[in-house]
């Protein structure tokens, strides 16, 4: 039994030349195909293989999901009958582009795609024939790698090289006998395996929104821009339970061309992108950002709580300054505060580099392409795909295991800023993640009363915890910090509520006021001291100038554990958040 030598998982489509000139050597060609696929094997969860046979017509002889083992696939290949007419490479490529890589025909999102063309001739020029190179470019834009083998001297070397997208993917053999050469076969197998492994795929689940510049200057290059967008999303795939994608088209106006929940497969999404019509006016980046901020990331439009959010801006110009225009950087900051990562690509030298860098939130998320041709560059595309995948696949930055309890001020003064406070809490816990065996998190909400809104053992993943935080309702009364601390001291760190012996304990107090003095109120500092005596570290953030600084210092057990934000806007400051996250992580590690 021959074991597959390539461990990569890939969807491979073979284009098998079945023209009249192959009559004598057709079995050689099929034997070569079988030898190549043997390096991968064929299985439902591993590599899948399809065959398009072509001559004057093209037909899908074997679908990707037809066979689940290598021997059955090989037997089917042997049974393919010669067509015996002309050499319509264009029809084979078009069939691959339109049908073979569809989900219903067995293609899989997020799996590398290879198209393998075997031919002994050049494209037959007939009425209605297409340019095969143009179709090959469409396939490449959709994330398909094309490898070509031209057999005999009758091939058009230049044409095959262009179909392959470059000489590095094109191979020539002077005769059909050469296909039997073990060394030649090994070269091809190695190339295909390397291609399958290199093909960028991203397993992260994300809500991606593309802002597609549709201004007048794009008229000639609009398809290039759309092809680039399609290539980027190919690294993620599109599905209802996986990555979702939306498109905002903008010029003088901005419109939501595709909602996040509109399409559940990659090909339908790509087809919809191709159908987007150019607007052809000015460049109102602000309107596109505002539409994203106001509507696109809403639940009714398909956004999901707890799923990474990426906004991807493509533009070849700078913001058009008109009456009523907003500062796009300010809107971008609002989006970032809401947890959206913004990646920007500026095309041509007409862009305002400084503006785009500010919109992206820094140079590390801003990229420049000197021309629209650059968008076709495979290396440039891979850089962008890798960046997006790294962004989406956010890993907690703190490896410490800890039981964290947040005391969330829910008093009346928070009415307008309650979401800001909750967003800060979610950002803080993101550094740790949430899991049964990792960090656990609880929330006590307090105002006149205190209640345990989320127990330490309630949620086992970060997204569920964040969603629960968003659903916490404002209490809207006084500020009884003492009741929150007492509840933490009496109940939250108990084993039955999810606390674990031998695990670091952190209590995190967020408040915008001072302890309300009422009949029966306790001294919050005294309760904090009891918690500290039990091994709990207390970190405090006081928001606005209404807090009692001295009281918060004492609750925290010293100035080193107390932080102050002069406004709720400060909670959105990335640097401030990083300082607090770092403190929490250091505390967790030291306490352990």
Residue 62 DSSP SS3: strand
Q: How far is residue 77's CA from residue 220's CA, in Å, rounded to a whole number? A: 44
Is residue 72 helix, strand or coil? helix
What's the number of domains the chain is made of? 3
Domain end, chosen from 176, 196, 216, is at 196
Q: Are residues 166 and 213 part of one domain?
A: no
Query: For the CA atoms of the chain, what is the radius of gyration?
Result: 30
**Does residue 587 register a pLDDT over 90?**
no
Same domain, 328 and 436: no
Q: Which has the higher per-residue pLDDT, 78 or 502?
A: 78
* CATH classification of the domain holding 553: 3.40.50.410
In a domain, 151, yes or no: yes
- Are 266 and 148 in the same domain? no
- The DSSP bridge pattern shows strands 206-213 and 112-119 to be unpaired
Q: Is residue 201 part of a domain?
A: no
Which of 393, 416, 442 is the C-terminal boundary of a domain?
393
Is the separation of the CB atoms in 467 and 402 below 8 Å? no
CA distance 327 to 355: 10
Q: Do 356 and 373 belong together in one domain? A: yes
Q: Which of 393, 416, 434 is the last residue of a domain?
A: 393
The reply to whether 78 and 169 lie within a common domain is yes
Given pLDDT bands bounded at 50, 70 and 90, which one contains residue 198?
very low
Name every residue whose Cβ is closer than 8 Å to that of residue 333 and which is 6 or more positions away in sequence. Answer: 361, 572
pLDDT tens for residues 330-389?
Answer: 999 888 877 788 999 888 777 788 888 899 988 888 888 888 877 777 667 777 877 777
Report d(CA 180, CA 292) in Å as an integer: 57
CA distance 395 to 311: 19
Is 283 part of a structural domain of the chain?
A: yes
Q: Is residue 362 part of a domain?
A: yes
493 is a domain residue: yes
* Statement: residue 592 has pLDDT above 50: no
Q: Is residue 255 part of a domain?
A: yes
- 211 and 170 share one domain: no
Q: Are residues 281 and 318 in the same domain?
A: yes
157 with 30, same domain? yes
User: Residue 253 domain-assigned?
Assistant: yes
pLDDT digits (tens, 9 = 90+) for 86-120: 889 999 999 999 999 887 788 876 677 899 998 88
Distance CA 178, CA 176 (A): 5
174 with 251, same domain: the answer is no
Whole domain around residue 140: which residue ranges?
Answer: 10-196
Task: Say what the pLDDT of residue 397 is.
Answer: 55
Q: Would you give the DSSP letter of residue 276?
A: P
Instruction: Tell me, yes or no, whether 293 lies in a domain.
Output: yes
Residues 17 and 153 both lie in one domain = yes
- What number of helices (H) and strands (E) belong to the chain? 18, 18
Residues 324 and 367 in one domain: yes
For residue 280, pLDDT beyond 80: yes
- The answer, as to whether pTM is greater than 0.75, is no
Residues 372 and 453 placed together within one structural domain of the fold? no
């Amino acid at each position: 039994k021959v074991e597959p030598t390539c461990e990569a998982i890939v969807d491979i489509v073979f284009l098998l030349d079945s023209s009249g000139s192959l009559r004598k050597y057709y079995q050689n060609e099929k034997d070569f195909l079988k030898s190549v696929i043997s390096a991968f094997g064929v299985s439902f969860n591993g590599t899948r293989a399809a065959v398009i046979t072509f001559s004057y017509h093209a037909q899908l002889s074997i679908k990707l999901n037809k066979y689940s083992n290598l021997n059955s696939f090989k037997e089917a290949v042997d049974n393919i009958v010669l067509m015996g007419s002309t050499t319509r490479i264009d029809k084979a490529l078009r069939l691959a582009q339109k049908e073979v890589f569809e989900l219903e025909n067995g293609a899989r999102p997020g799996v590398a795609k290879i198209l393998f063309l075997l031919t002994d001739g050049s494209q037959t020029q007939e009425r209605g024939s297409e340019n095969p190179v143009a179709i090959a470019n469409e396939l490449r834009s959709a994330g398909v790698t094309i490898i070509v083998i031209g057999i005999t001297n009758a091939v058009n070397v230049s044409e095959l090289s262009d179909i392959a997208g470059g000489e590095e993917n094109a191979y020539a053999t002077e005769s059909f006998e050469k296909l039997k050469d073990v060394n030649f076969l090994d070269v091809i197998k190695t190339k295909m395996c390397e291609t399958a492994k290199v093909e960028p795929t991203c397993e992260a689940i994300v809500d991606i929104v593309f802002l597609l510049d549709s201004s007048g200057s794009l008229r000639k290059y609009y398809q290039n821009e759309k092809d680039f967008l399609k290539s980027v999303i190919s690294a993620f795939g599109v599905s209802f339970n996986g990555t979702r994608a939306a498109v905002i088209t903008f010029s003088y106006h901005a419109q939501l061309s595709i909602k996040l929940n509109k399409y559940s497969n990659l090909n339908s999404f790509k087809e919809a992108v191709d159908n987007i019509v150019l607007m052809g006016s000015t460049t109102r980046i602000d309107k596109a950002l505002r539409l994203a901020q106001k509507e696109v990331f809403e639940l009714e439009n398909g956004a999901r709580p707890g799923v990474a959010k990426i906004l991807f801006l493509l533009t070849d110009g700078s913001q058009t300054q008109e009456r009523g225009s907003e500062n796009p950087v300010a809107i971008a900051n609002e989006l970032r505060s809401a947890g959206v990562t913004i990646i920007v690509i500026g095309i041509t030298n007409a862009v305002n580099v400084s503006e785009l860098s500010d919109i992206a939130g820094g140079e590390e998320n801003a990229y420049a392409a000197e021309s629209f041709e650059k968008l076709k560059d495979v290396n440039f595309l891979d850089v962008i795909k890798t960046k997006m995948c790294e962004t989406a696949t956010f890993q907690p930055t703190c490896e410490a295991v800890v039981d964290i309890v947040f005391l969330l001020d829910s008093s009346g003064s928070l009415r307008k800023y309650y979401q800001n406070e909750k967003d800060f809490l979610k950002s803080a816990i993101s550094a740790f993640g949430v899991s049964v065996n990792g960090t656990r998190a609880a929330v006590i909400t307090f105002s006149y009363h205190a209640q345990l809104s989320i127990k330490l053992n309630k949620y086992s993943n970060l997204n569920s915890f964040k969603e629960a935080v968003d659903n916490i309702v404002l209490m809207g009364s006084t500020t009884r910090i003492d009741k929150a601390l007492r509840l933490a001291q009496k109940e939250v760190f108990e084993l039955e509520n999810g606390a674990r012996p031998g695990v670091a304990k952190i209590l995190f107090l967020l408040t915008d006021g001072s302890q309300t003095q009422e009949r029966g109120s306790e001294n919050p500092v005294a309760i904090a001291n009891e918690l500290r005596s039990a091994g709990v570290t207390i970190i405090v953030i006081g928001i606005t100038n209404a807090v009692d600084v001295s009281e918060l210092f004492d609750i925290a057990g010293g100035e080193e554990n107390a932080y102050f934000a002069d406004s709720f806007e400060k909670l959105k400051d990335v640097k401030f958040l990083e300082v607090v996250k770092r403190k929490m992580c250091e505390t967790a590690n030291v306490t352990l």
